[in-house]
């Protein structure tokens, strides 16, 4: 039986990966922030 490996990932790691992936498709840092941000308030 194969041994399972646990990978620990933080929210910061996920955000950094997301920024790296969308950066080539955006115009500037403001656009990146809008796409990556998580808004908790509801209109």
Q: What is the pLDDT of residues 1-43, one digit of tens each?
A: 678 899 899 988 988 999 999 999 999 999 888 888 866 566 6
pTM above 0.75, yes or no: no
Nearest 5°: phi and psi at 39? -95, 125
Q: What is the pLDDT of residue 13?
A: 92
Asked if the structure places residue 14 within a domain, the reply is yes
- Give the domain range for residue 33: 10-43
Find the radius of gyration of the CA atoms of the chain.
Answer: 15
How many domains does the chain contain in total? 1
Q: What is the pLDDT of residue 1?
A: 67
Q: How far apart are CA 36 and CA 29, in angstroms?
A: 10
Asked if the structure places residue 1 within a domain, the reply is no
Q: What is the pLDDT of residue 21?
A: 92
């Amino acid at each position: 039986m194969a041994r399972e490996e646990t990978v620990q990932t933080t929210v910061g790691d996920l955000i950094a990966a997301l920024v790296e992936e969308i950066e080539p498709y955006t115009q500037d840092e403001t656009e990146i922030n809008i796409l990556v941000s998580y808004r908790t308030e509801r209109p």
